[in-house]
Structure 1
């Protein structure tokens, strides 16, 4: 447009300089047209390996681009949205069939799911007069999981199961052999250990360890009014993630419910659900009801909420626990500020207040020590 105006003005005024400027601009525009309109064929792939990290860890996305046309691409520019910011990369000269790769840093300061992409390739002339954007690659997701802390083995659950975790209670009707004892009237003769009885000169019967179903369910309160701020909710999810990882090590079948995020399966699936969790409106009681539907065979239940509600929070914890059968072992955790009240035991439940993630192992060990 300016070139045309310069030509017209130069022609009208007779100034050769204006005509020269207009002519130069028109020539530059003609040269720029092929750079912008010529077709572009590339094979572009955006990936993240691995697909997840822990909050505060390293996050990298990798872009690989291969030119599929005979003519080289002269240092194309690509635009990659990463969360709410735009990342621009200047690629090297792309010759046909020779892939080029670039890496992009991904923010991992906070837990969540980071959206990366799509990748937009820009065709432009050397002077930047004409530009054209094309979508080169689809977006990908990068999971930033909550920070976790190592825990001791979890306690067994409260109901029988043929492939459960042995408990510290004895039984006459289970599979984990414990010891021999003297026969008393009423014992099932099928449990008599005849060889030992012959050596001892009296009847001895087998006694077994009771076993427990290894089904753990972690329920996290997602109600906004349960926490003082978002940091308390993050601590609740960090505690949940730590328990999920420990449950996986202990071969528990594990479920997680936090608002609309409801998952059952391996620890990786549940940790990815933790990444998507956010404050909503289902609340602890509603989540417990959903958890009972999702994991009806639960034997170890963990309820996590905030302490903002005070006494009301304790009542909510107990009501949520009553959604499950009486034999289910329950651990209640309320998240509080460091200057809050520390205690072991929440109402009738075995539980404690948690002020920092690093305190979780000691608090769980203390809960086991006091037999709650």
Structure 2
């Protein structure tokens, strides 16, 4: 609860009038002082009334690509039974405030407001809670309360269509590694027949032995597995334009494009951040949500000046071998850190490095290291489709 400047002035006047009136026996001044004190008391009681409001929000849709339209529908209902609500309300949408008219909202009735959610930038836009300000008729006291929960709108990076997808690698018995564009089917196990299984997969010899139909389970042992590594260190994206690292935004869009292309081809794909997020927001349901929420962070320095998070990420990639195709996306500030990335060539047969926002071409370094320099994600998509050999 806050007393306005008018309320402070009237309260001071009440104290002065009462003091002077009683001290010097001026009943008129004392009466004025009592009237001022009563007005302030009435204002406190009037503003302290808490209206019973219920707030519902519906995001349409709650997940969009950057630049696509999104809207929020806000429904406010007066759940009280005695009096209408005349309030000043504002809904918080990201960093802006949206006015919500609540004039003569009768008991049992509701009002609906629909407004656009800004999607110009990638990120998670929190919408809400509704802030309702209650004022007395004289404008002496103002009391603000919050109603409803905050609802996030996920603004994903833009996706640029990619026609090309990496190929997998299958090892032959003689030790050679062959390119396998669509994987290979290998027997894995037997299980009981269920309605809908193809009869050509029935293993008749085993079925005759056990007395019931058994079918073969096959797995794709050499299906291409793609690992997308996004460099989210501050040092990798040093340049800012209006507070935004455009090279990092382009890297996020490139990561989303590779993920979408892999999902389209039913290929296993995973997303890894160089510097893991410490406070990932609730409600993340997939890699696109992670890309919407990811922010630049300090990777941490060791005594020798190397990035601690980069070394940790490279060690994990080397030890776990999460796939056979590694896509490393970074900015101009990490061009000197590509040596440890190139050292993963032995663990990952296909290795692609995307550098965004560099003023000049990046040297390939180790033999066979494929580096794609691009100003933005659209240029990266064009270069990606031009890769002839993974």
TM > 0.5 between the two?
A: yes
Q: Deviations over 1:230-276 (max 9, x none)?
A: 2212211111111111111111222111121499xxx9610110122
| Secondary structure in structure 1 of the residue aligned to 2:386 | helix
Report if the CA contact (8 A) 2:314-2:341 is conserved.
Answer: no
Distance 2:326 2:21 in 1: 85
Report the CA distance between 1:148 and its aligned residue. 2.1
2:69 aligns to what? 58
Report the CA distance between 1:106 and its aligned residue. 3.3
Aligned residue among 212, 225, 241 for 2:222 = 212
Distance 2:182 2:161 in 1: 27
Distance 2:125 2:232 in 1: 21
Q: Deviations over 1:89-111 (max 9, x none)?
A: 33232222222122354332322
Aligned residue among 286, 290, 293 for 1:273 = 290
2:332 aligns to what? 307
Q: Deviations over 1:36-72 (max 9, x none)?
A: 2334222112443322222233343332211111123
Distance 1:39 1:225 in 2: 50
Aligned residue among 226, 229, 233 for 2:248 = 233
Report the CA distance between 1:316 and its aligned residue. 3.0
- Aligned ranges 1:188-207 → 2 under 5 Å: none
Report the CA distance between 1:363 and its aligned residue. 0.7
When residues 102 and 290 of structure 1 are mapped into structure 2, their CA distance, relative to the original with a 3 A threshold, is farther
Moved more, 210-219 or 355-364: 210-219
Moved more, 101-110 or 141-150: 101-110
2:232 aligns to what? 222
Distance 2:106 2:152 in 1: 30
Task: List gaps (5 residues or longer) in structure 1.
Answer: 161-165, 176-209
Structure 1 residue 77 corresponds to structure 2 residue 102? no
2:53 aligns to what? 42
Report if the CA contact (8 A) 1:218-1:257 is conserved.
Answer: yes
Report if the CA contact (8 A) 1:120-1:133 is conserved.
Answer: yes
Distance 1:168 1:231 in 2: 34
Distance 2:66 2:123 in 1: 9
Distance 1:34 1:61 in 2: 34
- Structure 1 length-normalised TM: 0.71
Report if the CA contact (8 A) 1:78-1:122 is conserved.
Answer: yes
Aligned residue among 321, 325, 335 for 2:356 = 335
Report if the CA contact (8 A) 1:159-1:299 is conserved.
Answer: no
Report the CA distance between 1:32 and its aligned residue. 3.4
| Secondary structure in structure 1 of the residue aligned to 2:252 | helix
Report if the CA contact (8 A) 1:314-1:347 is conserved.
Answer: no
1:287 aligns to what? 313
| Secondary structure in structure 1 of the residue aligned to 2:61 | coil
When residues 99 and 307 of structure 1 are mapped into structure 2, their CA distance, relative to the original with a 3 A threshold, is same
Structure 1 residue 151 corresponds to structure 2 residue 162? yes
Q: Deviations over 1:187-236 (max 9, x none)?
A: xxxxxxxxxxxxxxxxxxxxxxx973143210012233223422212211
Distance 2:387 2:134 in 1: 64
Distance 2:41 2:371 in 1: 76
Report if the CA contact (8 A) 1:219-1:291 is conserved.
Answer: no
Report the CA distance between 1:318 and its aligned residue. 0.5
Report if the CA contact (8 A) 2:357-2:375 is conserved.
Answer: yes
- Aligned ranges 1:56-205 → 2 under 5 Å: 56-159=67-170, 167=180
Q: Deviations over 1:148-197 (max 9, x none)?
A: 2111141222248xxxxx945998x869xxxxxxxxxxxxxxxxxxxxxx
Report if the CA contact (8 A) 1:44-1:136 is conserved.
Answer: yes
Distance 1:63 1:303 in 2: 42
Task: List gaps (5 residues or longer) in structure 2.
Answer: 1-10, 172-178, 188-219, 240-244, 300-307
1:260 aligns to what? 276
- Structure 2 length-normalised TM: 0.69
